[in-house]
Amino acid sequence: MFERNLGPQRRRPPRHVGEVRVEGRRPPPWPLRLLFAAAVVSPLASSWYRAEHKAGVEAQAEEAVRWSLDGDPCPVISAADFAAVSRRAPMTTEFDDARLSRRIGHAQCSRHVYRLDGRKREAQVCDFTGPGALAVETPKALAYWAPLAAARVAIFDGQPRCVQRARFRMGE
């Protein structure tokens, strides 16, 4: 009903395999496109990788400072001195195969890997905000300390080690 007469139509011959269409500018072949894409993407990817690596190194350095065992050793006391610090029963925390008792304050425990004697060693580490007195019992040792303020106890191969720390708030 609404047919238009467009005149004689020029019919395109069927394309054959391998035939190249040449009209206007010819697009560059795919290897050149790939090279161009690599030239654009490569600097972006390498700068992203360097930024991620730097952030990871900084995070590891912060973690090492946060969990360091630097500090003065805690003063050693006897079992009688530990019992005499307070009339209240000690607060005890069991962490793996260790029992850590304190008179006051808060405790926070975790596992951490240290580089000691040229090799990596995993330790049970507990921070105490102000324990007054500490008793640490493992299958291999029993130790009592009276840190002046905060303390960190690390247990390597069943042997506890206590260092004094500056006052801190739990979670810092």
| Model confidence pLDDT, tens digit, residues 42-59 | 888 888 888 888 887 787
Residue 143 is predicted with a pLDDT of 92
> Among candidates 166, 97, 96, 94, which has minimal Cα distance to 128?
166
pLDDT in tens, 21-40: 666 666 667 788 888 888 88
Pairing of strands 98-102, 142-145: unpaired
Closest CA to 122 of 156, 83, 91, 94: 156
The number of angstroms, rounded, from the C-alpha of 62 to the middle of its chain's C-alpha atoms is 10
Sorting pLDDT into bands at 50, 70 and 90, what band is 76? very high
Indicate the average pLDDT of the chain.
Answer: 81
Residue with the larger pLDDT of the pair 160 and 7:
160
In degrees, rounded to 5, the angle at the alpha carbon of residue 153 between the alpha carbons of residues 111 and 74 is 165
